Structures are given as structure tokens and as C-alpha cells.
A and B are shown apart, each in its own frame.
Chain A
Amino acid sequence: MKVELRGITKRFPGVVACNGVDLSVESGEVHALLGENGAGKSTLMNILFGLYTADEGEVLLDDSPQVCHSPSDAIGAGVGMVHQHFMLVPVFTVAENVMLGIEPTGALGTIDRDEARRRVVELSDRYGLAVDPDATVEDLPVGVQQRVEILKALYRDARCLILDEPTAVLTPPEIDELMEIVRQLADGGRSVIFITHKLREVARIADRITVLRTGEVVGTTTPGESDEQALATMMVGHEVQLLVDKTAPDPGAAVLAVHDLVVDDERGHRVVDRVSLDVRAGEIVAVAGVQGNGQSELVEALCGLRPVQAGSVRLDGADVTGRSPRQMYDAGLAHVPEDRQRDGLIGSFPVASNLVLNQMRSRPFSRRGRIDRRAVRRHAAQLVEDFDVRTPSIDTAASTLSGGNQQKVIIAREFVHAERLLVLSQPTRGLDVGSIQYIHRRIVAKRDEGVAVLLNSSELDEVLALADRIAVVYRGRLVGVVDRADASRELIGLLMAGAVDEAAAVEATGDEEVTVT
């Protein structure tokens, strides 16, 4: 289906999310929509999908103007969307999820399950989705769940498919499979709009690329015309350096020593299984893995936020297993949490308070339990300056800052304290390229000061850019620790997918030392 957006403008109070955006997607085309967070990609697609109504401009589907007031209008018109967060009922089967809302009915209005199942199988076969219609959704890996979402759209006869950041939750092999499926869908005459901020994917899959910046179209190009560097420049608006400058590490003694650590989640499932890992002074060790393989729980356990079932954690030689978050903080741990809005900041508090959130009870910020507001403000003003936090004032509520500046508030607070061990979880998730660069430079600077850095990141690019050593976790186990020099994208990708044997084969050809357990 041919999709055309003409002069779309959408204003929210205080911000123009889309400003006169033109976009045209041909049948059989994979069109990448590239832009940083807040560039207006999602707003634009929500307009196409009927979640928002444009203030100005029109939507044309197959050359006829179309006004969609709700997603069901859009679905009726042949537009399907796979959201970043899946909209599936976990306890239902694939077939039930797919037919949900438009169940085929037999006589007396009973649901015709066989018919639904038959169509699911047929669609799944035609597009090589390889989905079992009778499997329960919660038992399926994330990549397959995503295919169920695609199946849902196809079942509703979507001729234009919008994929919102589809690769964020996938392993490298799953990304490959998704790319194939997308290609097949396009070859079948459907149009696919692929929303992303990852440059590498764009080059692989897109026929054409439209770059958005601050609500406006910067340009439309093709992978042939523009390389990654050029796309990055279009996206950010100025020249960017994609690689982090860093010298070889000069590691000292082990600061963090984890031995046979075992951690369970709330339901008693073993999520970290006998993990042993050292982080030495002056090196960055990255824990790589697809989201949900125990790395979050590992970090929480190290920070005293989650009980340890067995094993030990040592910090500078002292046993700190099972200490409280405050004790860990006092022992020299600084922690940038994964979910900054949930765990890192108090959104309704001013920036100044957030900058001393974990230090308020110590001098000079308080004496005898009384807050010294002058000291707090002075400290805040200094950090805002040092870490280039863009905020109207230090009294501004943290929640009103952009994601990048919120993260800088946390980074500032923790980096000031980080003298021995710095634990970072997804430090640049969802940030714009400029902020990512800045934070990466600060992380490397910390390493060069001799701080031990543990980086938990599901972005392979980030891991490869920063790490001196890479520890790959898969289903709670450490499947390999690889020196950066020996780590190819392929090797790490295979380890992340748990394909240890193949990884060993790859490693053998490289004939370097890798611990694969």
C-alpha cells in the first residue's frame, strides 16, 4: 500500500512535535524513519495509526485521503503497528492473541477456533514466521512474541506495517531473522515503516530513509547515498564522532571480586547462577547480554538492592556480601541505575535535591540532621556546571528535564562519589547521540582515573565501544569473558544467544584466548 503524509503538523502544549512533515512510502518498500528520541517519529506514526489527530496536514492511503480517529479506523484502512511494548495477553495462545477482537464466529456466535488457527498457520507459513499457533505467549521468547504481533497485523490484513523500534529487545540472531521477515513482507507488496535510531540497521534493511530532527524532515535518502556517518550528522545536526577515543587500559588490582554469586528473582527463579567475575581498577568490564538474562539482577545484588542466595561479593578485599545499599555506598560504590526515572531520580524534587539524594545525610549538606541548604545549592550549581546539565535552574523539577539531562543529573551525582567502583546500568538508553558521546567520554575518563567500572548494557555497540573486557551472560550464567581485542561482533552475538559451541568455533579460527565455560 502506498502511504503518503502531507504537511503533518502536531502541536502539544509548549512543543511542536511534528512541523509540516512530508513522508511517502511506496508499496513494497521498507522505509526507515530515523531520528533521535523526541525527533517526532513516534508522534508521526501515532497520527498515521489514529492515536493522535494531526493539527494540520493530511494522510493519503493509496492516493485517497483518509482520516483515522482511532486505531480501529487505521486497522480497517489497512495500517498495522507493532509497538515497542507488545500488546499481547500472556496467558493466551498465539492463535487466541491473533484473533482477539475479531474472532471468527460460527453458528450461535461461538468462536471458530479452528478457522482462526488455520489462518494463523497459513500466514505464518507464507511469511516464514515459524510460530506455533497453540503455544502460550508467555512461554515464547521475545523475538517470537514480536512475530506474533506481526502476525496480528497481517491477520487484520495490514498492507502497511509500522514497526516501532523493533530491534530494541532482540538478540543479534533474532535481528537477522526479523530483517528477513521484513524483506519478505515488502516483497509481497506491503509497505513497511521501520522506526529506529540505530544507524547500522538502517543501512541493512531500508530502501529509503527519512531522517527527522526536532519535528521536521531533514531529508530523505538511501543507504547507497548516505553512509552511517552522514546519517548521524543528519540526525544530530552537526558532525559527530561515532567512536570513543580511548587508550589501552592499565588495570590494577581487583576492586570488585564476585565469586559464585547466586541470585533469585521475586518468584524464586534462579536468575543469576554461580557467576564469578573480577573488575580491576582502571578497566571497564561490560556485562553483555540480551535483556532479561540476569544482568539487571546481578547488578542489583552487587548494589545491595537484592538478596544474595549464595556466593560472595568483595570490594577492595573486604567481604560486602548482603550489605545494604547505604553500606555499599559508604564502602565506595557508585551506581547509575537502569531505569533512571523509576530508580534514579525523584521527578517531583528539584534538580538540587536530586544531586544530593544519597548524600543529604552527610556533611557538608547537613549537620545534626539539619539540612544546610546553602551547601546543597552550591554543590548543585557546581555539578550543573561541571556536567553540563541543561536546566532552567537548580530548582527545576527533575521530571521536566529531557532524558539526556536527567541522566546527566544522575551521572553527576554518582560520578562525584565514584572513587573505587562505578556500576553503570544502561547508562545511555534512550538518549540522543550528543548525550551518549558525552557520557561515554566521562566513563572513559573515570576509568583513566583508576576507577573500576562495571558496565551493564544491552547495546552491543556501546559494549564494543567502551569495554576492555566483555562478560557475556545467558540465562543467568556467565558464558564467556572475552578481551575487547578478541571480541568480534559475531562472537559476542553468538555468546549472547547462548550458542557457546559455535562461539568456540569462531574463537578457534581467531586463535586467541577466550574463556568459554
Chain B
Amino acid sequence: MGSVAGDDKEMTTATSNSPPPWTGSATGSAQPSSFRRFAWRILAIVIGALFVYAGVLKAWDPVRFAGDIENYHVLPWAVNVRLAFFLPWLEIICGLGLIFRRLYSGALALVIALLIVFIGASIAAKMRGIDISCGCFGHVSDQLSFAWHLVLDFAILAGALALWRWDRQPHRADG
């Protein structure tokens, strides 16, 4: 009994001394607070949702998207049209991976790779004097200027890279 009482006491002491979960120091400084963890989750869901949205718009009209890729003048049409069928579904699956935390690391790595390719291709096309519609969000993005496309892409890339860094920290061992 004594030992039990002692354990209880220790437990009570430990509990009363425990900082609230949102302070981020419950089990050492490496443990993230619930709030921060929640914020990162929200960021992953937002980026995932953006990718799902962009993917659905393009999967709805792959021929139009093939025309958008064609406008970059990087690849031959036969490749562009096949990419136009594949890329939207890749975006959708990556987006769902981020939202539901399935195949998360792979999805995040592919999202980052896709964004780098999109940004690189857009800048390269602009430098070559090609007036492009990036096609990033299907017809919805037609009214967006090149600068706004870049701002949007860089913002999403920054968010994805932050998620990547967060995911690689030791406290993410909880998976």
C-alpha cells in the first residue's frame, strides 16, 4: 500500500508539476505543443487541399491542360498529352496523402518536387519570352498574372518545405 501511495503521490506531483500541453515542454524541449502540432496539421491540410483542388480542375479537362503544358515549349506534344493525364492524378493523390497522413513523407517529397518543377518551368518560359498560362489551377487561374502565380507557388513551396523540416525533426517520431 505504502508503495502504491508513494506512486500515487509521485504521480500527483508529476501531474501537478506538468506544464499545460500547449507550452511545448511537457516531456522536454523537443516535444511540440498541441497547438503547434495542430498548426502544422492545418498547414498540411491546406496544402493538401490546394493540390487536390488543382488536380481535380485539371483532371476534369486534360486536353486543355495538355495545351497549357504545350505552351511551355519544353516537351513534345506526345509527352505533354500523357503528362496531362498523369500529373493531375499525381497532385490529387499527393494532396490526399497530406490531408489524411497516408504515405505522408512520399507525398510531401513529391509535392515539393512538383512545385520546384512548376516554378522552374514558369521562370524559364518567362525568360524565353513565352506568354504562358501556367495552368496551375485550370481555367480558374487564367486571370492571375505571372507574378501572382509565382507568389502563390513560392508560398506553397515555403509551406511544404517548412512541413518537410518539421517532419524531419526528432519529435516527429510519433509519426
User: Do A and B bind?
Assistant: no
Interface residues of A (CB under 8 A from B): none
Interface residues of B (CB under 8 A from A): none
